[in-house]
Structure 1
Amino acid sequence: MKQNKYDDSGFFENYSQMPRSIGGLNAAGEWSALRALLPDLCNKKVLDLGCGFGWHCRYVREQQARSVVGVDLSENMLERARAMTNDSEIEYRRLAIEDIDFAAEEFDVAISSLALHYVERFDIICEKVHHFLVPGGTFVLSVEHPVFTALAAQDWHYGPQGEKLHWPVDDYHYEGSRQTRFLDNDVIKYHRTVATHVNALIESGFRITKLSELQPTQEMLINNSGMRDEIRRPMFLLIAAVKN
C-alpha cells in the first residue's frame, strides 16, 4: 500500500504547521540521536528515503557530501523541498519508497527518517538498500518504536482527571497494519517488532553497529518539557547498520 496523505491539501497544511516542519532538524526531538549515528559524510553519495522537505538532504551537503538523491511520493513535499534548496548536487525524485530502483553500489550512505513505518515490506527495502550501497556503506534509519505502534490508538491510558497513567502495550507480536489517527486523518502504519527490524537488516547482509531508543538527555528535558514523556516509554527506534 502506497499512501500519499501529504498531497491532500488539508493534511499537508496541518503537517506544515508542526514544529519540525517550521524549525527543521533542530525542532525534531530525535535529530540529535539520528545525527550521532551518521558516518563521515565528506565526499559521499547519499540516498534519502522519504526526504520530505529535504532537511536531511541539505544537512548532508553541509557536511560535504558529494551528492544527494531525495525520494518522496508527495509532490507537495517535493515542491517545498525544491523551493528551500539551492544546490545542484541535490536531486529530488517523486517516487514511492517501495519503487526505488538504482544501480548496484550507487550510494555510500542511505538514510530514512520516520518514513519506513508507512511501508509494508521492510525486508524488501533492506534488500534493495543493501544492493544500492557500496561494500562498507551505511544505512541509518529511524521509525516509530514498536512499543509506540503496537496499538492503533497510539495514546496514553488516562486517569479520571486526565492524567497520563501509563502507555498500554498489546498485540505486540501481532505484526501488520494499524489504522491510526495523525493530524486528524486516518493513516495506515505498519507495526513490526524490534526483532523483526534487526533481523531483516541482518538477513539482508547488514551488520548492526548501533541501536538507539532515544532516552532523553538532561539537556533535552530542560529545553523541551514535552520530552519528559519519552522517559516513560520509547517513541523512536533508530538503527545504524553497515553493508558487510
Structure 2
Amino acid sequence: MYGQAGPDFYDNEAVFPTYMSHRQRADTPNDTLEKPVIMDLIGCITGKRILDLGCGDAAIGRELLDHGAASYTGIEGSHRMAAVATNKLADTTGQIIEQRIENWTYPHAAFDLVIARLSLHYVADLAAIYTQIFNALTAVGLFVFSVEHPVITSCNRGWTSGTLRQDWVVDDYFTTGLRVTHWLGGTVQKYHRTVEDYFHLLKEAGFIIEDLREARPQREHFQNVQTYERRKRIPLFLILAARKPA
C-alpha cells in the first residue's frame, strides 16, 4: 500500500476514531510538549487575526478566541476533522474552511498570525506554502509552526497503538522527500526534511527566523513522572517562529 495523503488518512474510518481516542489520553505529546511551546511563541493574541493551517479539531481556535483574538480561520482538509472543528466553534465567531492547505486561495495581508500545528510534514511543496503564508501575513506578522522532528520522520519503523516504543532508528536522514509510515492502523504519506531544510526555506521565502525549539520536556506539564522521563529520550517535535519584515 502506497499510503494516504494526510487529509485522506484522517478520513479513514478505521484511523479517525483511533486518533480521536489517542488525543484524549492523559499526558499526550501534543499537550505536554508541543502546545506549551506554541503558546509561548505566539505570545499575546489580543486583537490578532489568526489563520490556522491544518486546524484539526480547532480546540486551540476556541481557546484563542476566548483569550481575545479578533478572528480565527481554520483550514482543514479532512472532512471528518472539519466537521468536528465546525462543531467545536459553533457558538463562536470562528470560521472553518474545508480545504487542503495546498489548494486554498490565500488572501493577501489578511492575518497577523499564522499557525500550523503538525500539518506541514504532510505537504509535498513546502516552499510554495511558505510563500503563500508570507503573502497572507501583514507586515511584521508572525508565523509559528510545529512539525514532527526530523529524527522522527527519518525513522522508517512504524508505531503500534497501545505499545511503548523502545527504539528509534534514524536512517537516510539527508535523503529528503516522501516517506510512508504505518500509524494508528493506517498508512500515511509524510515528507521528511532536515532541520536545515525548514530553516533555509523560511529564509528563502523572506522570513526572519526568531526562534527554534525542540519541545524539551518540562516536568510541570506532566501528570506522570514516568512519562516525563520517557519523553527526555528523543525529540518529537521541531517548532519554529518566523516573522515577516516591516
TM-score of the superposed pair, with normalisation by structure 2: 0.88
Q: Which amino acid is the alignment partner of residue 176 of structure 2?
A: E
CA gap 1:25/1:81 in 2 versus in 1, 3 angstroms: farther
Determine if contact 2:180/2:190 at 8 Å carries over to the other structure. yes
Residue identity over aligned pairs, in percent, reads 32
RMSD: 2.6
Measured after TM superposition, the shift of residue 201 of structure 1 is: 0.7
Q: Which residues of 2 match residues 88-107 of structure 1 at below 5 A?
A: 88-107=92-111
Name stretches of at least 5 consecutive residues in structure 1 with no aligned partner: 156-161
Cα offsets for 1:14-54 (capped at 9, x unmatched): 11111348999984532111111113211111000001111
Number of the residue aligned with 2:127:
123
Q: Which amino acid is the alignment partner of residue 40 of structure 1?
A: C
Measured after TM superposition, the shift of residue 4 of structure 1 is: 1.4
Name stretches of at least 5 consecutive residues in structure 2 with no aligned partner: none
Number of the residue aligned with 1:210:
211
Please state whether the residue corresponding to 1:140 is helix, strand or coil. Answer: strand
Determine if contact 2:57/2:85 at 8 Å carries over to the other structure. yes
TM-score of the superposed pair, with normalisation by structure 1: 0.89
One of 76, 82, 87 as aligned partner of 2:80: 76
Please state whether the residue corresponding to 1:125 is helix, strand or coil. Answer: helix
Determine if contact 2:52/2:116 at 8 Å carries over to the other structure. yes
Q: Which residues of 2 match residues 3-22 of structure 1 at below 5 A?
A: 3-20=7-24
Cα distance in 1, alignment partners of residues 91 and 128 from structure 2: 31
Q: Which has the higher contact order (CA 8 A, sep 6+)?
A: 2
Cα distance in 2, alignment partners of residues 175 and 26 from structure 1: 24
Please state whether the residue corresponding to 1:98 is helix, strand or coil. Answer: coil
Cα distance in 2, alignment partners of residues 12 and 232 from structure 1: 28
Measured after TM superposition, the shift of residue 224 of structure 1 is: 5.3
Cα distance in 2, alignment partners of residues 68 and 213 from structure 1: 26
* Stretch moving more, 101-110 or 28-37: 28-37
Cα distance in 1, alignment partners of residues 105 and 203 from structure 2: 21
CA gap 1:197/1:64 in 2 versus in 1, 3 angstroms: same
Measured after TM superposition, the shift of residue 220 of structure 1 is: 3.7
Number of the residue aligned with 2:241:
240
Q: Which amino acid is the alignment partner of residue 14 of structure 1?
A: T
